[in-house]
A and B are shown apart, each in its own frame.
Chain A
Amino acid sequence: MPPVLEVDNVSMTFGQGELAVQALKPTTFNVEGGELAALLGPSGSGKSTLLLAISLILEPTTGRIALNGREVYNNGPTGIDVRAYRRQNIGFIFQQHNLIPFLTARENVALVMQINGTGRRDAPRRATELLGYLEIAHRAESLPANLSGGEQQRVAIGRALANEPRLVLADEPTAALDTERGIKVMAMLRKIARERQSAVIAVTHDHRMIEGFDTVYRLDDGRLARMLLNNREPASIAS
């Protein structure tokens, strides 16, 4: 089985000539199915840039990216539909949850399913099942404003899982939560990784949660500089 995500010598440079800034130095790492990986580093170190590059929101300057063994970028576009690639393969979790405020919890999850082609009848049913899996089905009809921070984050996780992605990218998923709720969210991410064999990469500043990750990568000035091992050996790392 190939790793879920292969990042090979991916770099990102903004600007040209003397004004060029290399936000991400050539970076190589893999994440396997079931692995929960953290990207740690100070502000401006290139964490978000790496996430944007992996999801092809920003085109890397160099390098190769493969998902499930399929090359999606190789020193240039490979001709794939970038939005469909994100929609079908990647689930996103945000710091501020980013739920659509005028849709209920169920509708927030169902909308993403519908965008990916699930029928109008099936999507709400499947969204309810997913919310049940995340133990938040009882709030399915609530608007985001009526949910607590932890509940909102669980709905946001539900939305990220709506299309059963192999890769989940989380941007500071516990930053807006207190320790207790943060631990619950981490437990949920671990459950997702283990039970669904998804690869989860979380950008975090939250040192309280480091213990919960399988692998921790540290980024400094765009360089994947250090690796802290937690419970097991990582797939590979080089920079």
Chain B
Amino acid sequence: MSAPSYRSAAATPGVAKASPLVIYGAQRDIGGQSQQFTIIGYDVFGGLGGPEHIVRGRAIEAPHFELVADNKLGLTLGDKALFGTHYYTVVGITHGAVDSGGNPIVYLSLPDAQEVQFQQDNRALVAARSANIKRLERAGYSSEQVSRLLPLLSSPGDTVNAVLIKLAPGADANAVAGNIRDWLYFNVYTTGEERTLMLEGRLSKMSAVLGLFRVLLIIVSIVIIALIIYVLTIEKIKSIATLKLIGAPNWVIVRLIMEQSLALTFASFAAAYGLRELIVPGFPRTLVFLPQETAITFLVMLGGGVLASLMAIWHALRTPPQLALGG
């Protein structure tokens, strides 16, 4: 939508403030490596949509050439990043400012973000300009008219992706949304609708994909643990036969195997958890592990560990005690 349309939204009854926002994905060389991130351009002079969790430095205060970046990008205060033809100085660092895909966010002023998004290189600009001139001349415009009309045909740099709205106290969100929808013909989402859209859309699909991988990994882990426990039990079959021969009840043998299996499960979960804690901070994307998901994974692994020992227990219980006799 065109940038000025935020003014129409601001004039809607019940709206306290409206701000234009630009948001798009980008990939640039930062710190010597190609990194994926999302650029957000916002009105740095009191507009909505700016960085909220600045852990070092400050927010953008100048209209141009300053940026605030998430710490995942590895930038530090005072660093300069080249986007297009300009260098932008890092004035603030956020923590946990990521898009729905977990990519870090870079905040720029609105005009800077628009420029980075729409800027063309010189050859492209010259080619577009000459094409527009030819088109206007073919249409019969004079040189003077062409000079006047040409800026109107230049790059569509003054567009925004969204307008953020802050409601006036007591305003009904649904009523305001309805007004904007009916009179300005924009799609409108309340905060709740936007959250649902994100959670049920992209995030739920990503979560489902990750969940599938997790289930597959757990199954593979359980199979591996089952095989290890089975092999360890086969190795100890004479000891098991001895225990049976001297009169150990079955529960003693079951407990020994189960303890072994659970110890292995605990160890593998602890190793995976430790590895995750070690790797995740350095991972280019922000990954969120909910405590309840970790707990469920642990419980599933625990159940898997018990399941993994069943084959070994079955074999152990069928072992004849007389196997302990002889050489």
Contacts and interface: CB of A to CB of B under 8 A. Distances in A.
Interface of A: 48, 51-52, 55, 57-58, 83-88, 90-92, 94-96, 98, 100-101, 112, 115-116, 159, 171-172, 175-176
17 contacts: A51-B325, A52-B325, A58-B322, A84-B247, A86-B245, A86-B247, A87-B246, A88-B247, A90-B246, A94-B325, A95-B325, A98-B239, A98-B324, A101-B236, A101-B239, A115-B252, A171-B326
Interface of B: 236, 238-239, 242-249, 252, 320-322, 324-327
Nearest to A57: B321
A101 B320 CA distance: 20
Contacts of A95: 325-327
Contacts of B244: 83
Given A52-B325, A90-B246, A92-B324, 11 more contacts: A51-B325, A57-B322, A92-B246, A95-B325, A95-B327, A100-B236, A100-B243, A115-B252, A116-B247, A171-B325, A176-B327
Nearest to B244: A83
Chain A contact surface mostly: mixed
A48 B238 CA distance: 17
A96 B327 contact: yes
A94 B248 contact: no
A87 B322 contact: no
Contacts of A92: 242, 245-246, 324
Contact of B242 (A52, A98, A116, A172): A98
A179 to B, nearest CB: 18
Contacts of B322: 48, 52, 57-58
Residue from B244, B245, B248 with most neighbouring chain A CB atoms (10 Å):
B245
Given A94-B242, A98-B238, A115 B248 contact: yes
A176 B321 CA distance: 21
Given A87-B247, A87-B248, A115-B248, A100 B242 contact: yes
Contacts of B327: 95-96, 172, 175-176
List 5 A-B pairs, minimum CB-CB distance, nearest first.
Answer: A87-B247, A86-B247, A98-B242, A83-B247, A100-B239
A115 B251 CA distance: 10
A165 B244 CA distance: 17
A135 to B, nearest CB: 23
Nearest to B241: A98
A115 B247 contact: yes
